[in-house]
Amino acid sequence: MDVEKAVKRAVELGASEAEAYLLNTAETSLTLAGEVEASKTVRLKSFGIRVAIGKSTAVVGTQDVSDTGIESAVNSAVSIARVSPPDPRWVRMNGNISVREVGETFDKATAEATPEDLLPIARGLLDAVKEGCREAKPVRGFLTSRALEVIYANTYGGPVERRETLAFLDVEARVDEAGEVGTYSDYSIARSYRKLEPWKTGVEAGSRAREFVKAGAIPNGKYGVITLNRVSDSLLPVMLNPAVSALNVQEGRSPLAGKIGLEIMSDNVTVEDLGASVNTLGSKPFDDEGHPTRNLTIVGKGVLETFLYDTYTANREGRESTGNASRGFSTAPRPSPHHLHLKPGDATFEELLEETENGVLVMSTIGEWMSNPVSGHLNATITHAYMVENGEIAKPVKNGVVSGNFYEMFKEGLEMIGKDTRHDYGVSAPSLKFRSVTIASK
Amino acid sequence: MVAMLKELAAYGLSTAEELGATYVEARAQRASYELITVDNGILKEFSKTFSAGLGIRVFYGNRFGFSSTNVLNRESVREAVEKAISAAKASRRVEKLGEREACKGVFKSAWRKKPEDVSDGTKVSLTMDVNKAGLGLDGIKSAVTRLGIQRDWRYIATSDGVDLEYESSLLGFAHMSVAFEAGAMERVSDQESAVAGWEFIEGKDWNQFSASVSRLAKEAVKAPLPPSGRLKAVADPEMVGLILHEAFGHACEGDLVSSGDSILSGKLGGEIASPLVTIVDDGLAEGGYFVPFDDEGSIKTRVLAVEEGVLKSFMTGRETAGILKLPVSGNSRAQDFTHFPIVRQTNFFMMPKDHGFEEIVEEAGEGIYIVGRGATGGQVDTASGTFTFSAGPSRMIRNGELAELVRGVVISGSILETLKGVEAVGKDLKITTSAFGGCGKDNQLARVGDGGPHVMIRELIVGGG
């Protein structure tokens, strides 16, 4: 049963509105240790149906995509909606179904890659670790190629179809020297597996791993802190994605509620959501409600300009969706950025360093996702960093917790913005320099 | 459905053998997850997810390859077998698989009242009530309540004679409250789950549960951050579970040990913890998750990882057991039929000793009592040995007594130092699991359980204000 038929079937069964979402996933991946440890190829079809009866809604997802499987999912959704209490804020599903031009997001070779196609890249990556440092061992890594296809329709239109491919690799290197251990990992992401950078990634992991054999402790205190671009990429979405969701704003869970038009960050900060950009990982022609995407300025020169809306949250405020609906196949949509982009400044990485008298260059963190986007309190545990003294990298260090209010850091605390943007899936940002950041350590 | 899945699994086995595989595992799964979300008094989502499919792993030319399908016919299973063989050709050679007995059997987790026999309307109105109870306190700005119900049926047949299946039921409530006072906001979330039937839901006052989360949020919003730096810590059973799981459990996973990605590689037989510390992994521990056998068809055995401070064993699957020359412990688990099994913890916990809680706090003197309620999780870098986790609202310890509440507590430490620094172990034992989250590794999520007694640790790094 295709998505249009499923929508019709739901209406026949008594739904006043229905939307169907079909997700086809194809993935080939290699797990790496010192060599290719295991590999797999997976094809998966997932189907979701959301129905409304008046203002009562329900969602059912199934991975049994036979006609009887879908029929039973549609039945189940309608019967749940019948017993669901109405949501007084429900207006209707998205009525603006169309497609934005975002360039090519699909690479056939990546969609069809077999484990053997990926082997040379995996071997290149493992060899590169040794090139970075002869004593380095690649201890853990992945190489994955993935294709996603979404087909969407609802009572008001469709079907619309989008597809994208994605390839990523990462590797962790380890060096043992006189009873001490140094590690480092790096990654690469692209639309096509042929555009990955195994050599650069492996060399970086191997050579840094050796440097971190001698990593010392960071003395407890306050420092000028530089976050390497990839660390900026990991911190921004943790704090901003939930805070700029109109749902969290409306439900009283965002520290940005009531702050539209106010300066929430330093005036050199501009943050965009690139929903409809060409060559941007995360941009897509339409969102998970079939609504066309767009590029939006969320924070313009420090001033909060907008939140991100799906149809439900937009209807609550009598406005148009910003095309930011995001969902899994069996969950209701919620607003979320497609690609959070912090605009680069004009400082080179060397200039960020030069301006740091006594500081810490943070290369890698874990646990940043445990920060609190409701209170705005940021935490990240440093696994790899360098002390910076008089504008120069002095020595490798590890183990310390970066802690502080995210918005204070980006307002009073932000000193310089680099121009070395790193593009990851769903986010891109340059290296950043903050003044007086608390690091808890030994 | 079950009969058809078993028939397709048998077809997968024979097809793979015909095509030259020397060993084959066919895993079938049928699972469902129900989630009811009530957000600020309104039913925001009632979703049900059903999945069914087949995963095939072949051992071909001494190499493993995996593929899966959820298109349930013979043609598609044959295609999956061919893809698994193609994947094997890209994988490393495995010289020796750990031996295990090929068992047959049917397992079922305990339940009295099937959750699917309870009407949707009853589930919705109960969740609405629990949310209302959480919202009903002054100063609570936002409250989200979730009811999660998981059913999982797994079947595995292998070419060497394994024929095992289990059915399990896991369910629970989760609640988050956001308190607002004087311009500051704080959230606290908590969940309680059990491997059980609907009787677990009926046996508890859930309105009391959500109201107490709200009371804690109200108290926490006024609380200061803890001082930054090194502190002596007393951890409650939930925190002990989280620390052990992150700080030690992952490093005991045989695959990480054999690849050198664990700081415990080569340390078997060594003293790696205080002599007060004994740690086990048990697939059927009370309060924990239900893992009678793993996704390679090995019966899960109890692993004694640490005995009185000495590292005794690692958790293994067949491949890592072969490499490490250890027994197969039945820890090779897959998130679902679309993933191949990797070495995972099941219920990983510390065994109790002799101290009472008050006694531990008194002995600690000055420090922090870190509490698991409201914690959001943890993460570890197994190779370097650095771990981190967040605690819920916690209390400072002053003069041997619990003192003021602190919020935003983040702990970091190094694996070996932390376990060597265990100075007292309580006589209580609590193990918990969750129907809402789990442990992530290699892009796979697994339900786990963890816990222990109250424990005193010489020092941890606390990130605060």
Q: What is the DSSP letter of A330?
A: T
Which one of B49, B71, B87 has the shortest CB-CB distance to A61?
A: B49
Residue B163 CA to residue B299 CA, distance in Å, equals: 11
Q: Do A341 and A400 have their domain in common? A: yes
Q: Do A89 and A191 have their domain in common? A: yes
Instruction: Note the pLDDT of residue A291.
Output: 98
Residue A209 confidence (pLDDT) above 70 = yes
Instruction: Note the pLDDT of residue B237.
Output: 96
Residue B204 CA to residue B150 CA, distance in Å, equals: 19
Which residue stretches of B92-160 are H helix?
A: 120-135
- Cβ(B456)–Cβ(B424) below 8 Å: yes
Q: Do A307 and A422 have their domain in common? A: yes
Phi-psi region of A279 (alpha: psi -120 to 50; beta: other; left: phi over 0): left
Q: Do A107 and A138 have their domain in common? A: yes
Q: What is the DSSP string of A382-393?
A: EEEEEEEETTEE
Q: Do A301 and A406 have their domain in common? A: yes
pLDDT more than 90, % of chain A: 89
What range defines the domain where residue A49 resides?
Answer: 3-211
Q: Do A302 and A206 have their domain in common? A: no
A24 phi and psi, to 5 degrees? -105, 125
Min mean pLDDT across A26-40, A421-435, B376-390 is at: B376-390
B205 CB neighbour count, 10 Å cutoff:
11
A181 touches chain B (CB under 8 A): yes
The CATH number given to whatever domain includes residue A31 is 3.30.2290.10
Q: Do A39 and A119 have their domain in common? A: yes
A270 phi and psi, to 5 degrees? -125, 125
Smallest CA-to-CA distance from B189 within B389, B416, B436, B456 is with B436
Token pair recorded at residue B426 = 């309580």
Q: Do A341 and A319 have their domain in common? A: yes
End of a domain among A188, A211, A234? A211
Name every residue whose Cβ is closer than 8 Å to that of residue A406 and which is 6 or more positions away in sequence: A235, A239, A371, A376, A377, A378
The label of the residue with tokens 């990605």 reads B261
Token pair recorded at residue A378 = 């940021």
B46 touches chain A (CB under 8 A): yes
End of a domain among A190, A211, A232? A211
Instruction: Note the pLDDT of residue A180.
Output: 86
Q: Do A134 and A11 have their domain in common? A: yes
Contacts of A43 in chain B (CB under 8 A): 68-69, 71
Residue A281 CA to residue A275 CA, distance in Å, equals: 9
Instruction: Note the pLDDT of residue B182.
Output: 85
Which one of B47, B52, B66 has the shortest CB-CB distance to A61?
A: B47
Across the interface, whether the CB atoms of B259 and A37 are under 8 A apart is answered: yes
Across the interface, whether the CB atoms of A367 and B39 are under 8 A apart is answered: no
- Cβ(A309)–Cβ(A336) below 8 Å: no
ipTM of the complex: 0.85
A193 phi and psi, to 5 degrees? -65, -20
Across the interface, whether the CB atoms of B72 and A64 are under 8 A apart is answered: yes
Across the interface, whether the CB atoms of B39 and A251 are under 8 A apart is answered: yes
Entry field: residues in chain A: 442
Q: Is the dihedral of CA A249, A253, A254, A258 positive or negative?
A: positive
The more confidently predicted of residues B387 and A396 is A396
Which one of B66, B228, B263 has the shortest CB-CB distance to A220?
A: B228
Contacts of B91 in chain A (CB under 8 A): 30, 36-39, 115
The label of the residue with tokens 């989360």 reads B213
End of a domain among A175, A196, A211? A211
Radius of gyration for the alpha carbons in chain B, expressed in angstroms and rounded: 23
Token pair recorded at residue B308 = 């009185």
Element (H, E) at A334: strand A334-335
Instruction: Note the pLDDT of residue B464.
Output: 66
Count the helices and strands in chain B (H runs, E runs): 10, 26
The more confidently predicted of residues A177 and B352 is B352
Q: Do A200 and A230 have their domain in common? A: no
The model's pTM is 0.91
Q: What is the DSSP letter of B116?
A: G
- Cβ(A50)–Cβ(A80) below 8 Å: no
The label of the residue with tokens 């899936």 reads A425
Instruction: Note the pLDDT of residue B412.
Output: 86
Can you name the residues that pair with B148 across neighbouring β-strands? B35, B172
Residue of B nearest to A218 (CA): B229
B121 touches chain A (CB under 8 A): yes
Q: What share of chain B is helix, strand, coil (3-state, %, to 5)?
A: 25, 40, 35
Q: What is the DSSP string of A68-92?
A: HHHHHHHHHHHHHHHHSPP-TT---
A209 phi and psi, to 5 degrees? -55, -40
Instruction: Note the pLDDT of residue B465.
Output: 52
pLDDT tens per residue, chain B (465 residues)? Answer: 899 999 999 999 999 999 999 999 999 999 999 999 999 999 988 989 999 999 999 999 999 999 999 999 999 999 999 999 999 998 999 989 999 999 999 999 999 999 999 999 999 999 999 999 999 999 998 999 999 999 999 999 999 999 999 999 999 999 999 999 988 888 999 999 999 999 999 999 999 999 999 999 999 999 999 988 899 999 999 999 988 998 889 999 999 898 887 888 889 999 999 999 999 999 999 999 999 999 999 999 999 999 999 999 999 999 999 999 999 999 999 999 999 999 999 999 999 999 999 999 999 999 999 999 988 888 888 766 788 888 999 999 999 999 999 998 988 888 788 999 999 999 999 999 999 988 888 889 999 999 999 999 999 988 765
Question: How many A/B residue pairs have CB atoms within 8 Å?
Answer: 274
Instruction: Note the pLDDT of residue B402.
Output: 97
Q: Distances in Å between the alpha carbon of A77 and those of A70, A292, B114, B432?
A: 11, 26, 20, 32
Smallest CA-to-CA distance from A390 within A435, A431, A357 is with A357
Q: What's the domain count of chain A?
A: 2
Residue A261 confidence (pLDDT) above 60 = yes
- Cβ(A71)–Cβ(A63) below 8 Å: no
The label of the residue with tokens 């605690």 reads B391
Q: Do A414 and A340 have their domain in common? A: yes
What is the three-class DSSP state of A310?
A: coil
Residue A363 CA to residue A382 CA, distance in Å, equals: 8
Residue A72 CA to residue A77 CA, distance in Å, equals: 9
Smallest CA-to-CA distance from A115 within A40, A198, A31 is with A40
The more confidently predicted of residues B150 and A403 is B150
Instruction: Note the pLDDT of residue A410.
Output: 97
For the segment A98-118, what is each residue's pLDDT rounded down to a tens digit? 999 999 999 999 999 999 999
Q: Do A201 and A233 have their domain in common? A: no
Smallest CA-to-CA distance from A400 within A388, A386, A414, A410 is with A386
Phi-psi region of B275 (alpha: psi -120 to 50; beta: other; left: phi over 0): alpha
* CATH number belonging to domain B2-221: 3.30.2290.10
Ranges of each domain in chain B: 2-221, 229-463
Name every residue whose Cβ is closer than 8 Å to that of residue A169 and which is 6 or more positions away in sequence: A121, A122, A125, A141, A142, A143, A144, A187, A188, A196, A198, A201
Task: Indicate which of B25, B47, B127 best probes the interface with A, i.e. most A CBs within 10 Å of its own CB.
Answer: B47
